[in-house]
A and B are shown apart, each in its own frame.
Chain A
Amino acid sequence: MRKLSKYLIGIGAVIAILAIGNFPAFALGASPVALVAAATAAATPFATQLKLLAISGSVYAILQVAKQVFPLAGLWAVLFNVVLSILGVAVVIRPEDLFSLPTFTAVAIAAITAAGAHGTIKSFTSGGSDAPTSPTPAVRSGVAMLLCVALVGGLTGCSPVEVQAYRIIVGAKAFTTSIGNSHQECGARDSNLHWVPTPNTSAVCSTIVKLISAKDLMIDVTELYCAGPDFETGGACNPPKDKGVQAQLAAKVKFAIQNYEQTETDLKSLLH
């Protein structure tokens, strides 16, 4: 009975964390059932969830190995679990999402799942009693190997900066075109599909011009980030090889994206 209540508390905590993490989507009217259905139908189904599972498994495996060397137990084991979960999530999370609610949620889920895996395996190996026993070395090494393979697979799914920026630029072009078509008093598209504003000083028209400028700024900084011998001659993006330069230019891309999104938010509030 005591063990059942422990599991129920754990499941309740995971559901609560998932609900908090998805609050922005729910606030915009998304249905939880629709979100789960869509995640199932996605091109890479449950990609984020699989990465979290891989992190949790790796944390569990590392903890088991660490316990053989250090006397890790109680609060220290919990702290070690949380620190490893933070490090695991920091590796797979996009830099601009580092200090965000989804990241916090991911760390919490990883830590709770790792602790849950530990408790579950312990209960199996101890024949259903709560007595503390450890899984056999064969089980530990097998789990560690499987989960490390899964973690490597999950890591390869991260999108590079230029891919993220390009997606947002493509979306921004579509959004500005759609909104421009709805506000023909503000301007029209020429034969090159470039926006030609009419002399209209209304707030909506001014913000559409600002939004298009913000989109073009994203293109400028992405081209700066991609600049290199291949890119300048029509080839694919050449991200900077120097880590310092790459971090600086990635920060510029991030700033341009934030600038665009702020302007888009301003326009949406005007249109509401």
Chain B
Amino acid sequence: MNPYVVLLDLGSSFLKQFLASLTKSNAPAQIIDGLTSVVTAIDTHKDDVINKANLEAQRG
């Protein structure tokens, strides 16, 4: 499992800080952008009810 996924249980603030430090590393900009959008999306959807509509909205 990827480290940033494992760190999810510590909360999205923790993950955001982790990504902030990752930004200072030499990872490509598009990967950092991708991971930043992951954190934002998880934070946005953290209180979602897990139903069929919400799952289907993530397709494609």
Q: Do A and B come from one complex?
A: yes
Q: A167-B42, A215-B58 are in contact. Are A231 and B52 (CB under 8 A)?
A: yes
In the complex, are the beta carbons of B22 and A265 less than 8 A apart? no
Among B17, B30, B50, which residue has its beta carbon within 8 angstroms of that of A38?
A: B17
Among B1, B3, B58, which residue has its beta carbon within 8 angstroms of that of A96?
A: B1
A242 to B28, CA, bound (A): 45
Q: Chain B, 13-53, contact with A by CB distance < 8 Å: what is the 0/1 string?
A: 11111101110110110110111011111101110111111
Among B25, B30, B37, B45, which residue has its beta carbon within 8 angstroms of that of A177?
A: B37
Among A38, A48, A170, A195, which residue has its beta carbon within 8 angstroms of that of B16?
A: A38
Q: A174-B38, A177-B37 are in contact. Are A29 and B21 (CB under 8 A)?
A: yes
A138 at the interface (CB under 8 A from B): no
Among B8, B39, B58, which residue has its beta carbon within 8 angstroms of that of A169?
A: B58
Q: Chain A, 163-175, contact with B by CB distance < 8 Å: what is the 0/1 string?
A: 1101111111111
Among A47, A100, A164, A236, which residue has its beta carbon within 8 angstroms of that of B49?
A: A236
A266 to B3, CA, bound (A): 16
A102 at the interface (CB under 8 A from B): yes
Q: A96-B1, A235-B51 are in contact. Are A102 and B60 (CB under 8 A)?
A: no
Total interface residues on A, CB under 8 Å, equals: 66
A199 at the interface (CB under 8 A from B): no
Residues of A close to B22: CB separation below 8 A: 28-30
A interface, by DSSP: helix, strand, loop or mixed?
helix
Among A39, A168, A177, A234, which residue has its beta carbon within 8 angstroms of that of B5?
A: A168
Residues of B close to A184: CB separation below 8 A: none
A248 at the interface (CB under 8 A from B): no
Residues of B close to A37: CB separation below 8 A: 17
Residues of A close to B53: CB separation below 8 A: 234
Stretch at the interface among A52-60, A62-70, A144-152, A218-226: A218-226
Chain A CB within 10 A, most for which of B31, B49, B53, B56: B31
Q: Which residue of A lies closest to B46 (CB)?
A: A167
A26 to chain B, nearest CB (A): 10
In the complex, are the beta carbons of B41 and A171 less than 8 A apart? yes
In the complex, are the beta carbons of A219 and B56 less than 8 A apart? yes
Among A29, A174, A258, A271, which residue has its beta carbon within 8 angstroms of that of B41?
A: A174
A194 to B59, CA, bound (A): 7
A141 to B43, CA, bound (A): 41
B27 to chain A, nearest CB (A): 8
Interface on A for B, CB 8 Å cutoff? Answer: 24-25, 28-31, 34-35, 37-39, 41-44, 47-48, 94, 96-97, 100, 102, 159, 162-164, 166-175, 177-179, 182, 189, 192-195, 212, 215-216, 219, 222-223, 226, 231-232, 234-237, 257-258, 261, 264-265, 268, 271-272
Interface on B for A, CB 8 Å cutoff? Answer: 1-18, 20-22, 24-25, 27-28, 30-31, 33-35, 37-42, 44-46, 48-56, 58-60
7 of the cross-chain contacts (CB-CB < 8 Å) are A43-B12, A47-B11, A159-B9, A178-B30, A182-B30, A236-B50, A237-B50
